[in-house]
Amino acid sequence: MKLRDARALVTGGSEGIGKAIAAALRAEGAEVGITGRRKEPLEATASELGAQALSGDVSNEADVKRTVAAFLERQGRIDILVNNAGVGYFAPLAELDLRRFNELFATNVTGAMLMAREVAPHFIHQASGHLINISSTSGLSGGAGSTAYSGSKFALKGMTECWRAELRRHNVRVMLVNPSEVLTDFAGKLGREQEASQKKLRGQEIADAVIGALKLDDRGFIPEFSVFATNPF
């Protein structure tokens, strides 16, 4: 697709991978809206990028309806939805906290569904659209302590395949992106140490891959791809 003047909505766009994708879209000439739960950092990023700030929680149905409506009111249409908002929680099976487990699924799974559900009718009506779900290599292979996080990403993969089967006939491309470890604030928020290394991925690599996939002519698309660091060790 041609990204200049495209209208793109990126959830979780105030930092990390979401911010990198939003910045890359703006650099290509797209008009971009970003969502986030924390109003101050969201507005700061929006001001920095020249994007539309849409404060809201993707796990809250009313917020989703409001933010999508506000985006459409200003932009007139939506060409790209990037479901990037996500949270993490890691614990052994025997120690899983039900509240935290449910909160994670509410954002990573239900939130992605609500955003996609709200945007899908517009894609169908205009017979075009690009729906990108940012998952993780944790959604390809589970690991110890990752029941909640990996489970949510496996669920996202399954939903992506269902949406692709439904929407292809409407000329909508549904893609799944699986980043491996990326140096962001994600780990720090969970109290986990992340070793800084020039060999590890940054959000920019994920953004570059997403832009490359979007720029493919609309007669074809990349259903799913993973992005790994060449040698992170």
What does residue 3 show for φ and ψ, rounded to 5 degrees?
-85, -20
Considering only CA atoms, which of 9, 163, 180, 194 is closest in space to residue 85?
9
Alpha carbons 59 and 57: distance in angstroms, whole number: 5
Among the options 90, 149, 154, 163, which is catalytic? 149
Tell me how far apart the 2 most distant CA atoms of the chain are, in Å. 50
Q: Identify whether 149 is a catalytic site residue.
A: yes
Considering only CA atoms, which of 39, 38, 40, 3 is closest in space to residue 21?
3
Paired strand residues for 224: 176
Q: How many other C-beta atoms are found inside a 10 Å radius of the C-beta of residue 202?
A: 16
Alpha carbons 210 and 179: distance in angstroms, whole number: 11
- Active site amino acids: 149
